[in-house]
Chains A and B, each alone.
Chain A
Amino acid sequence: MTELNKSSQPNDSNAPLRDAGLSRLYRSAADEVPPAALDAAILQAARDAVAPPAARVVPWWKRLLVPAGVAATMLFAVMLTLTMERHSPDSVEVSSQKAEPAPAAAAPLSPAQPAVSKGRADQAATARETTPAAMPSAAAPTEKKMKAAPLVRDVDLPQAMPVAPAPATAPVSSADRLAEPATKSESRSSSDGLAAERAPAAAAAPAHEFAAKRATPRAELAWLEEIRQLRQQGRLEEAARRVAEFRRAYPDYPLPEDLK
Protein backbone atom coordinates (compact mmCIF):
# COMPACT_ATOMS: atom_id res chain seq x y z
CA MET A 1 0.00 0.00 0.00
CA THR A 2 1.36 3.41 -0.89
CA GLU A 3 2.15 5.79 1.94
CA LEU A 4 0.31 8.99 1.30
CA ASN A 5 2.34 11.17 3.66
CA LYS A 6 4.56 10.86 6.68
CA SER A 7 4.43 13.33 9.50
CA SER A 8 4.73 13.04 13.27
CA GLN A 9 3.00 16.33 14.03
CA PRO A 10 -0.27 15.80 15.93
CA ASN A 11 -1.62 19.06 14.59
CA ASP A 12 -4.68 18.39 12.38
CA SER A 13 -3.48 20.69 9.64
CA ASN A 14 -0.20 18.74 9.40
CA ALA A 15 -1.67 15.39 10.33
CA PRO A 16 -0.50 12.50 8.23
CA LEU A 17 -2.88 11.52 5.55
CA ARG A 18 -2.50 7.99 6.75
CA ASP A 19 -3.07 7.13 10.35
CA ALA A 20 -1.34 3.87 11.22
CA GLY A 21 -3.38 3.36 14.39
CA LEU A 22 -6.64 4.06 12.65
CA SER A 23 -5.70 1.79 9.78
CA ARG A 24 -4.81 -0.96 12.22
CA LEU A 25 -8.08 -0.48 14.05
CA TYR A 26 -10.03 -0.53 10.87
CA ARG A 27 -8.27 -3.64 9.62
CA SER A 28 -8.92 -5.51 12.81
CA ALA A 29 -12.66 -5.17 12.30
CA ALA A 30 -12.75 -5.45 8.52
CA ASP A 31 -13.75 -9.09 8.08
CA GLU A 32 -16.78 -8.68 5.87
CA VAL A 33 -16.66 -10.96 2.83
CA PRO A 34 -19.10 -11.42 -0.01
CA PRO A 35 -21.37 -14.49 -0.11
CA ALA A 36 -19.87 -17.52 -1.87
CA ALA A 37 -22.89 -17.87 -4.15
CA LEU A 38 -22.42 -14.36 -5.36
CA ASP A 39 -18.79 -14.99 -6.22
CA ALA A 40 -19.69 -18.24 -7.98
CA ALA A 41 -22.13 -16.43 -10.22
CA ILE A 42 -19.56 -13.79 -11.06
CA LEU A 43 -16.90 -16.36 -11.93
CA GLN A 44 -19.32 -18.31 -14.09
CA ALA A 45 -20.17 -15.16 -15.98
CA ALA A 46 -16.47 -14.50 -16.50
CA ARG A 47 -16.01 -18.01 -17.94
CA ASP A 48 -19.01 -17.72 -20.21
CA ALA A 49 -17.78 -14.42 -21.55
CA VAL A 50 -14.60 -15.91 -23.01
CA ALA A 51 -15.92 -19.37 -23.88
CA PRO A 52 -16.24 -20.06 -27.63
CA PRO A 53 -19.81 -20.04 -28.86
CA ALA A 54 -21.22 -23.54 -29.07
CA ALA A 55 -22.21 -24.77 -32.49
CA ARG A 56 -25.93 -24.43 -32.81
CA VAL A 57 -27.95 -27.21 -34.28
CA VAL A 58 -30.03 -25.68 -37.03
CA PRO A 59 -33.23 -27.50 -37.97
CA TRP A 60 -33.25 -28.93 -41.46
CA TRP A 61 -36.16 -26.77 -42.56
CA LYS A 62 -34.32 -23.61 -41.48
CA ARG A 63 -31.38 -24.57 -43.63
CA LEU A 64 -33.67 -24.62 -46.65
CA LEU A 65 -35.17 -21.20 -46.02
CA VAL A 66 -32.57 -19.22 -47.97
CA PRO A 67 -32.36 -21.53 -51.02
CA ALA A 68 -36.14 -21.78 -51.16
CA GLY A 69 -36.45 -18.03 -51.01
CA VAL A 70 -33.94 -17.56 -53.81
CA ALA A 71 -35.70 -20.15 -55.98
CA ALA A 72 -39.09 -18.56 -55.39
CA THR A 73 -37.74 -15.14 -56.31
CA MET A 74 -36.22 -16.41 -59.53
CA LEU A 75 -39.40 -18.24 -60.47
CA PHE A 76 -41.42 -15.11 -59.88
CA ALA A 77 -39.04 -13.08 -62.02
CA VAL A 78 -39.24 -15.55 -64.90
CA MET A 79 -43.02 -15.71 -64.78
CA LEU A 80 -43.25 -11.96 -64.69
CA THR A 81 -40.96 -11.64 -67.68
CA LEU A 82 -42.94 -14.15 -69.70
CA THR A 83 -46.19 -12.46 -68.84
CA MET A 84 -44.86 -9.08 -69.84
CA GLU A 85 -43.61 -10.44 -73.14
CA ARG A 86 -46.98 -11.96 -73.94
CA HIS A 87 -48.79 -8.75 -73.27
CA SER A 88 -46.18 -6.35 -74.61
CA PRO A 89 -47.31 -3.42 -76.75
CA ASP A 90 -45.41 -4.78 -79.78
CA SER A 91 -47.33 -8.00 -79.77
CA VAL A 92 -50.60 -6.13 -79.46
CA GLU A 93 -49.75 -3.94 -82.43
CA VAL A 94 -48.77 -6.88 -84.57
CA SER A 95 -52.02 -8.64 -83.88
CA SER A 96 -54.00 -5.50 -84.59
CA GLN A 97 -52.16 -4.90 -87.86
CA LYS A 98 -52.89 -8.42 -88.97
CA ALA A 99 -56.56 -7.85 -88.35
CA GLU A 100 -56.69 -4.69 -90.41
CA PRO A 101 -56.61 -6.32 -93.84
CA ALA A 102 -59.93 -8.03 -93.11
CA PRO A 103 -61.99 -4.85 -93.29
CA ALA A 104 -60.25 -3.99 -96.53
CA ALA A 105 -61.11 -7.37 -97.92
CA ALA A 106 -64.72 -6.90 -97.00
CA ALA A 107 -65.09 -4.33 -99.80
CA PRO A 108 -64.33 -6.45 -102.85
CA LEU A 109 -65.59 -3.98 -105.39
CA SER A 110 -63.25 -1.26 -104.25
CA PRO A 111 -59.91 -2.95 -103.91
CA ALA A 112 -57.91 0.23 -104.14
CA GLN A 113 -60.17 2.24 -101.91
CA PRO A 114 -59.65 1.22 -98.31
CA ALA A 115 -61.30 3.33 -95.65
CA VAL A 116 -58.53 5.77 -94.86
CA SER A 117 -58.95 8.82 -92.73
CA LYS A 118 -56.79 11.85 -92.36
CA GLY A 119 -53.39 11.12 -90.80
CA ARG A 120 -53.50 7.33 -91.27
CA ALA A 121 -51.41 7.19 -94.39
CA ASP A 122 -49.12 4.47 -93.07
CA GLN A 123 -51.91 2.18 -92.12
CA ALA A 124 -53.47 2.72 -95.49
CA ALA A 125 -50.20 1.87 -97.17
CA THR A 126 -49.93 -1.28 -95.14
CA ALA A 127 -53.51 -2.23 -95.82
CA ARG A 128 -53.04 -1.72 -99.46
CA GLU A 129 -49.95 -3.84 -99.46
CA THR A 130 -51.81 -6.64 -97.75
CA THR A 131 -54.89 -6.41 -99.84
CA PRO A 132 -53.48 -8.38 -102.74
CA ALA A 133 -55.25 -11.42 -101.33
CA ALA A 134 -58.57 -9.72 -101.89
CA MET A 135 -57.47 -8.20 -105.11
CA PRO A 136 -57.89 -11.22 -107.32
CA SER A 137 -61.54 -11.70 -106.51
CA ALA A 138 -62.29 -8.05 -106.77
CA ALA A 139 -59.90 -7.13 -109.47
CA ALA A 140 -60.85 -9.97 -111.73
CA PRO A 141 -64.40 -8.84 -112.57
CA THR A 142 -63.32 -5.22 -112.65
CA GLU A 143 -60.41 -6.10 -114.81
CA LYS A 144 -62.63 -7.99 -117.16
CA LYS A 145 -64.85 -5.01 -117.54
CA MET A 146 -61.96 -2.83 -118.29
CA LYS A 147 -60.25 -5.20 -120.63
CA ALA A 148 -62.21 -4.02 -123.55
CA ALA A 149 -61.79 -0.40 -122.69
CA PRO A 150 -58.97 1.44 -124.30
CA LEU A 151 -57.83 2.70 -120.90
CA VAL A 152 -56.93 -0.35 -118.86
CA ARG A 153 -56.15 1.06 -115.46
CA ASP A 154 -55.17 -2.19 -113.82
CA VAL A 155 -52.78 -2.91 -116.62
CA ASP A 156 -51.22 0.45 -116.17
CA LEU A 157 -50.63 -0.13 -112.49
CA PRO A 158 -47.70 -2.53 -112.77
CA GLN A 159 -45.69 0.18 -114.37
CA ALA A 160 -46.11 2.33 -111.31
CA MET A 161 -44.61 -0.32 -109.09
CA PRO A 162 -41.05 0.94 -109.42
CA VAL A 163 -42.18 4.10 -107.65
CA ALA A 164 -43.81 2.26 -104.74
CA PRO A 165 -40.64 1.50 -102.72
CA ALA A 166 -40.32 5.22 -101.82
CA PRO A 167 -43.57 5.81 -99.94
CA ALA A 168 -42.66 8.82 -97.78
CA THR A 169 -40.66 10.78 -100.28
CA ALA A 170 -41.61 14.06 -101.88
CA PRO A 171 -44.50 13.98 -104.29
CA VAL A 172 -43.47 12.37 -107.51
CA SER A 173 -44.14 14.26 -110.63
CA SER A 174 -47.56 13.09 -111.54
CA ALA A 175 -47.07 13.83 -115.17
CA ASP A 176 -44.03 11.61 -115.45
CA ARG A 177 -45.52 8.80 -113.50
CA LEU A 178 -48.83 8.77 -115.29
CA ALA A 179 -47.18 9.17 -118.62
CA GLU A 180 -45.22 5.96 -118.18
CA PRO A 181 -48.16 3.64 -117.86
CA ALA A 182 -49.91 5.41 -120.70
CA THR A 183 -47.16 4.57 -123.13
CA LYS A 184 -46.83 1.02 -122.04
CA SER A 185 -50.48 0.25 -121.88
CA GLU A 186 -50.67 -0.10 -125.64
CA SER A 187 -48.04 -2.82 -125.75
CA ARG A 188 -49.68 -4.81 -123.04
CA SER A 189 -53.25 -4.56 -123.88
CA SER A 190 -53.17 -7.92 -125.62
CA SER A 191 -51.63 -9.92 -122.72
CA ASP A 192 -54.68 -10.56 -120.60
CA GLY A 193 -53.10 -13.19 -118.46
CA LEU A 194 -50.19 -10.99 -117.67
CA ALA A 195 -52.55 -8.16 -116.79
CA ALA A 196 -54.54 -10.43 -114.57
CA GLU A 197 -51.42 -11.48 -112.71
CA ARG A 198 -50.17 -8.00 -112.26
CA ALA A 199 -53.49 -6.49 -111.32
CA PRO A 200 -53.39 -7.22 -107.62
CA ALA A 201 -49.92 -5.89 -107.10
CA ALA A 202 -50.48 -3.04 -109.49
CA ALA A 203 -53.65 -2.02 -107.74
CA ALA A 204 -51.73 -1.64 -104.58
CA ALA A 205 -49.05 0.54 -106.10
CA PRO A 206 -51.00 3.74 -106.79
CA ALA A 207 -52.81 3.37 -103.49
CA HIS A 208 -49.50 3.17 -101.83
CA GLU A 209 -48.31 6.19 -103.70
CA PHE A 210 -51.34 8.23 -102.72
CA ALA A 211 -50.96 7.16 -99.13
CA ALA A 212 -47.38 8.30 -99.26
CA LYS A 213 -48.45 11.61 -100.65
CA ARG A 214 -50.90 12.07 -97.83
CA ALA A 215 -48.11 11.84 -95.44
CA THR A 216 -46.39 14.86 -96.98
CA PRO A 217 -47.33 18.37 -96.00
CA ARG A 218 -48.50 19.39 -99.47
CA ALA A 219 -50.16 16.12 -100.31
CA GLU A 220 -53.53 17.63 -100.95
CA LEU A 221 -52.31 19.87 -103.72
CA ALA A 222 -50.33 17.14 -105.38
CA TRP A 223 -53.26 14.82 -105.16
CA LEU A 224 -55.55 17.36 -106.79
CA GLU A 225 -53.00 17.98 -109.47
CA GLU A 226 -52.89 14.34 -110.29
CA ILE A 227 -56.65 14.26 -110.58
CA ARG A 228 -56.46 17.12 -113.02
CA GLN A 229 -53.91 15.24 -115.06
CA LEU A 230 -56.19 12.26 -115.21
CA ARG A 231 -59.04 14.36 -116.47
CA GLN A 232 -56.87 15.98 -119.02
CA GLN A 233 -55.85 12.57 -120.21
CA GLY A 234 -59.45 11.57 -120.48
CA ARG A 235 -59.30 9.08 -117.68
CA LEU A 236 -62.48 10.35 -116.18
CA GLU A 237 -63.52 7.27 -114.27
CA GLU A 238 -60.24 7.05 -112.54
CA ALA A 239 -60.27 10.75 -111.87
CA ALA A 240 -63.69 10.45 -110.31
CA ARG A 241 -62.52 7.63 -108.13
CA ARG A 242 -59.57 9.68 -106.97
CA VAL A 243 -61.84 12.59 -106.17
CA ALA A 244 -63.94 10.34 -104.01
CA GLU A 245 -60.89 9.13 -102.21
CA PHE A 246 -59.72 12.66 -101.69
CA ARG A 247 -63.03 13.65 -100.21
CA ARG A 248 -62.85 10.78 -97.78
CA ALA A 249 -59.30 11.65 -96.84
CA TYR A 250 -59.89 15.37 -96.60
CA PRO A 251 -63.58 15.90 -96.06
CA ASP A 252 -63.09 19.50 -95.04
CA TYR A 253 -60.82 20.46 -97.86
CA PRO A 254 -62.60 22.67 -100.40
CA LEU A 255 -62.37 21.13 -103.88
CA PRO A 256 -61.39 23.44 -106.76
CA GLU A 257 -64.19 24.31 -109.17
CA ASP A 258 -62.65 22.39 -112.00
CA LEU A 259 -62.58 19.20 -109.99
CA LYS A 260 -66.04 19.33 -108.58
Chain B
Amino acid sequence: MSAPDLPDEGLMLAYQAGDVSAFERLHQRYRSKLYRYLVHQCNDVRLAEELYQDIWLRVVNARADYEPLAKFSTWLFRIAHHRLIDHYRRSARDKVLLWESAGDENGIEDFPAPAALTPPAQLERLQLKMRIAAALAELPEPQREAFLMAEEGGMSLEEIAKATATGRETVKSRLRYALSKLRHSLKDLL
Protein backbone atom coordinates (compact mmCIF):
# COMPACT_ATOMS: atom_id res chain seq x y z
CA MET B 1 0.00 0.00 0.00
CA SER B 2 1.49 3.31 -0.98
CA ALA B 3 1.86 6.15 1.45
CA PRO B 4 -1.15 8.19 0.26
CA ASP B 5 -3.51 5.24 0.73
CA LEU B 6 -2.56 4.54 4.28
CA PRO B 7 -4.77 5.62 7.16
CA ASP B 8 -3.49 8.28 9.49
CA GLU B 9 -2.06 5.72 11.89
CA GLY B 10 -0.27 3.89 9.10
CA LEU B 11 1.28 7.10 7.83
CA MET B 12 2.57 7.91 11.28
CA LEU B 13 4.08 4.46 11.64
CA ALA B 14 5.67 4.80 8.23
CA TYR B 15 7.21 8.08 9.27
CA GLN B 16 8.41 6.41 12.45
CA ALA B 17 10.23 3.94 10.20
CA GLY B 18 11.87 6.82 8.35
CA ASP B 19 9.47 7.60 5.53
CA VAL B 20 9.37 11.39 5.35
CA SER B 21 6.76 11.40 2.57
CA ALA B 22 4.34 9.71 4.96
CA PHE B 23 4.68 12.59 7.36
CA GLU B 24 4.19 15.10 4.57
CA ARG B 25 0.94 13.39 3.64
CA LEU B 26 -0.21 13.32 7.23
CA HIS B 27 0.70 16.95 7.65
CA GLN B 28 -1.30 17.85 4.57
CA ARG B 29 -4.40 16.16 5.98
CA TYR B 30 -4.43 17.99 9.32
CA ARG B 31 -2.58 21.26 8.81
CA SER B 32 -5.67 23.41 8.20
CA LYS B 33 -7.83 21.62 10.74
CA LEU B 34 -5.29 22.08 13.50
CA TYR B 35 -4.64 25.66 12.49
CA ARG B 36 -8.28 26.68 12.57
CA TYR B 37 -8.75 24.91 15.88
CA LEU B 38 -5.91 26.98 17.34
CA VAL B 39 -7.09 30.26 15.77
CA HIS B 40 -10.57 29.93 17.27
CA GLN B 41 -9.22 28.73 20.61
CA CYS B 42 -6.65 31.47 21.03
CA ASN B 43 -8.46 34.27 19.16
CA ASP B 44 -4.93 35.44 18.32
CA VAL B 45 -3.36 34.58 14.96
CA ARG B 46 0.26 35.04 16.06
CA LEU B 47 -0.23 32.90 19.11
CA ALA B 48 -2.05 30.32 17.02
CA GLU B 49 0.92 30.14 14.60
CA GLU B 50 3.37 29.74 17.44
CA LEU B 51 1.39 26.96 19.02
CA TYR B 52 0.79 25.37 15.62
CA GLN B 53 4.50 25.00 14.92
CA ASP B 54 5.20 23.82 18.43
CA ILE B 55 2.57 21.11 18.25
CA TRP B 56 3.84 19.72 14.96
CA LEU B 57 7.39 19.66 16.28
CA ARG B 58 6.15 17.69 19.24
CA VAL B 59 4.61 15.22 16.84
CA VAL B 60 7.96 14.87 15.06
CA ASN B 61 9.85 14.37 18.30
CA ALA B 62 7.36 11.85 19.62
CA ARG B 63 7.53 9.64 16.54
CA ALA B 64 9.79 7.07 18.24
CA ASP B 65 7.28 6.47 21.03
CA TYR B 66 4.15 6.63 18.93
CA GLU B 67 1.76 3.73 19.27
CA PRO B 68 -1.58 3.53 17.45
CA LEU B 69 -3.55 3.03 20.65
CA ALA B 70 -6.09 5.63 19.49
CA LYS B 71 -6.90 7.50 16.33
CA PHE B 72 -4.22 9.81 15.11
CA SER B 73 -6.64 12.77 15.27
CA THR B 74 -7.29 12.01 18.94
CA TRP B 75 -3.56 11.91 19.61
CA LEU B 76 -2.90 15.10 17.69
CA PHE B 77 -5.65 17.13 19.32
CA ARG B 78 -4.68 15.79 22.71
CA ILE B 79 -1.26 17.31 22.19
CA ALA B 80 -2.90 20.53 21.08
CA HIS B 81 -5.19 20.57 24.11
CA HIS B 82 -2.31 20.15 26.55
CA ARG B 83 -0.23 22.72 24.74
CA LEU B 84 -3.04 25.24 25.11
CA ILE B 85 -3.39 24.49 28.78
CA ASP B 86 0.33 24.99 29.22
CA HIS B 87 0.11 28.32 27.48
CA TYR B 88 -2.75 29.47 29.66
CA ARG B 89 -0.88 28.39 32.77
CA ARG B 90 2.15 30.42 31.80
CA SER B 91 0.41 33.50 30.50
CA ALA B 92 -2.79 33.91 32.44
CA ARG B 93 -3.54 31.87 35.50
CA ASP B 94 -7.03 33.28 35.72
CA LYS B 95 -7.77 31.96 32.27
CA VAL B 96 -6.83 28.48 33.44
CA LEU B 97 -9.19 28.84 36.36
CA LEU B 98 -11.87 30.01 33.98
CA TRP B 99 -11.28 26.94 31.84
CA GLU B 100 -11.25 24.51 34.73
CA SER B 101 -14.23 25.99 36.46
CA ALA B 102 -16.25 26.63 33.34
CA GLY B 103 -19.73 25.37 33.97
CA ASP B 104 -21.15 22.93 31.55
CA GLU B 105 -24.65 24.06 32.35
CA ASN B 106 -24.49 27.57 30.88
CA GLY B 107 -27.78 28.00 29.12
CA ILE B 108 -28.76 30.25 26.28
CA GLU B 109 -30.22 32.76 28.74
CA ASP B 110 -26.72 33.69 29.82
CA PHE B 111 -25.79 35.15 26.45
CA PRO B 112 -26.80 38.47 24.90
CA ALA B 113 -28.95 38.79 21.89
CA PRO B 114 -27.19 38.21 18.56
CA ALA B 115 -25.76 41.24 16.75
CA ALA B 116 -27.72 42.78 13.87
CA LEU B 117 -26.89 41.77 10.33
CA THR B 118 -24.76 43.97 8.02
CA PRO B 119 -26.45 44.66 4.59
CA PRO B 120 -23.45 44.90 2.06
CA ALA B 121 -23.23 41.58 0.13
CA GLN B 122 -19.55 41.94 -0.73
CA LEU B 123 -18.88 41.86 2.98
CA GLU B 124 -21.19 38.92 3.55
CA ARG B 125 -18.52 36.34 3.65
CA LEU B 126 -16.25 38.41 5.80
CA GLN B 127 -19.09 39.10 8.10
CA LEU B 128 -19.95 35.45 8.16
CA LYS B 129 -16.46 34.60 9.28
CA MET B 130 -16.52 37.30 11.86
CA ARG B 131 -19.92 36.22 13.11
CA ILE B 132 -18.85 32.63 13.45
CA ALA B 133 -15.60 33.61 15.12
CA ALA B 134 -17.46 35.87 17.51
CA ALA B 135 -20.00 33.17 18.28
CA LEU B 136 -17.27 30.72 19.01
CA ALA B 137 -15.40 33.26 21.13
CA GLU B 138 -18.46 33.71 23.26
CA LEU B 139 -18.47 30.05 24.17
CA PRO B 140 -16.68 28.85 27.29
CA GLU B 141 -13.37 27.24 26.39
CA PRO B 142 -14.38 23.63 27.14
CA GLN B 143 -17.55 23.93 25.02
CA ARG B 144 -15.75 25.63 22.18
CA GLU B 145 -13.05 23.00 22.27
CA ALA B 146 -15.57 20.18 22.12
CA PHE B 147 -17.28 21.79 19.13
CA LEU B 148 -14.01 22.40 17.26
CA MET B 149 -12.70 18.90 17.92
CA ALA B 150 -15.92 17.48 16.57
CA GLU B 151 -15.96 19.77 13.52
CA GLU B 152 -12.27 20.00 12.66
CA GLY B 153 -10.99 16.69 14.04
CA GLY B 154 -14.06 14.66 13.13
CA MET B 155 -13.82 13.10 16.55
CA SER B 156 -16.52 11.17 18.39
CA LEU B 157 -17.61 11.81 21.97
CA GLU B 158 -15.30 9.08 23.20
CA GLU B 159 -12.36 10.42 21.26
CA ILE B 160 -12.94 13.96 22.49
CA ALA B 161 -13.16 12.60 26.02
CA LYS B 162 -9.78 10.87 25.59
CA ALA B 163 -8.15 13.96 24.13
CA THR B 164 -9.37 16.23 26.92
CA ALA B 165 -9.06 13.69 29.74
CA THR B 166 -12.72 13.94 30.63
CA GLY B 167 -15.70 11.66 30.59
CA ARG B 168 -17.96 10.95 27.64
CA GLU B 169 -21.03 12.40 29.31
CA THR B 170 -19.16 15.56 30.17
CA VAL B 171 -18.14 15.97 26.55
CA LYS B 172 -21.67 15.25 25.44
CA SER B 173 -23.01 17.94 27.74
CA ARG B 174 -20.44 20.46 26.59
CA LEU B 175 -21.10 19.78 22.95
CA ARG B 176 -24.87 20.02 23.43
CA TYR B 177 -24.60 23.42 25.06
CA ALA B 178 -22.11 24.63 22.46
CA LEU B 179 -24.45 23.74 19.63
CA SER B 180 -27.38 25.32 21.40
CA LYS B 181 -25.56 28.60 21.84
CA LEU B 182 -24.17 28.66 18.35
CA ARG B 183 -27.60 28.03 16.93
CA HIS B 184 -28.90 30.90 18.93
CA SER B 185 -26.06 33.24 17.90
CA LEU B 186 -26.21 32.30 14.22
CA LYS B 187 -29.86 31.47 13.84
CA ASP B 188 -30.34 34.18 11.23
CA LEU B 189 -27.66 32.60 9.10
CA LEU B 190 -28.93 29.06 9.39
Interface residues, chain A, with chain B CB atoms under 8 Å away: 1-2, 4, 12, 15-19, 21-23, 25-35, 38-39, 41-43, 45-47, 49-50
Contacts and interface: CB of A to CB of B under 8 A. Distances in A.
Contacts of A23: 151
13 contacts: A2-B154, A4-B157, A15-B179, A17-B176, A26-B132, A30-B151, A34-B32, A34-B35, A42-B60, A43-B24, A46-B20, A46-B23, A46-B56
A46 B21 CA distance: 10
Contacts, number: 95
B97 interface: no
B53 to A, nearest CB: 6
A3 to B, nearest CB: 9
Given A15-B176, A50-B15, A22 B182 contact: yes
B27 A39 contact: yes
Given A22-B190, A30-B36, A45 B60 contact: yes
B179 A17 contact: yes
A25 B132 contact: yes
B166 interface: no
A32 B61 contact: no
Contact of A42 (B36, B53, B129, B151): B53
Contact of A2 (B23, B32, B156, B172): B156
A17 B172 contact: yes
The listed residue with most A CB atoms (<10 A of its CB), out of B132, B156, B179, is: B179
B123 interface: no
Given A21-B190, A42-B56, 10 more contacts: A4-B157, A15-B180, A17-B179, A19-B182, A22-B179, A22-B182, A29-B132, A32-B32, A41-B53, A46-B15
Contacts of B125: 29
Contacts of A18: 150, 179
A252 to B, nearest CB: 88
Contacts of A15: 176, 179-180
Given A33-B32, A46-B24, A38 B52 contact: yes
B124 to A, nearest CB: 10
Interface string B164-190: 000000001001100110110010011
Contacts of A39: 27, 31
Contact of B49 (A28, A35, A45, A47): A35
A30 to B, nearest CB: 6
Given A4-B175, A47-B20, A38 B49 contact: yes
**Size class of the B contact interface (CB-based, 8 Å):** 35 or more
Contacts of B39: 32
Nearest to B129: A29
A125 to B, nearest CB: 80
A34 B52 contact: yes
A91 B24 CA distance: 79
A4 B150 contact: yes
A43 B31 CA distance: 11
B128 interface: yes
Contacts of A38: 49, 52-53
A17 B151 CA distance: 11
Interface string B8-25: 000000010010100110
A39 B125 CA distance: 26
Contacts of A28: 128
A139 to B, nearest CB: 95
Contacts of B180: 12, 15
A50 B176 contact: no
Contacts of B176: 12, 15, 17
Nearest to B19: A50
A12 B132 CA distance: 20
B57 interface: yes
Nearest to A10: B183
A255 B59 CA distance: 104
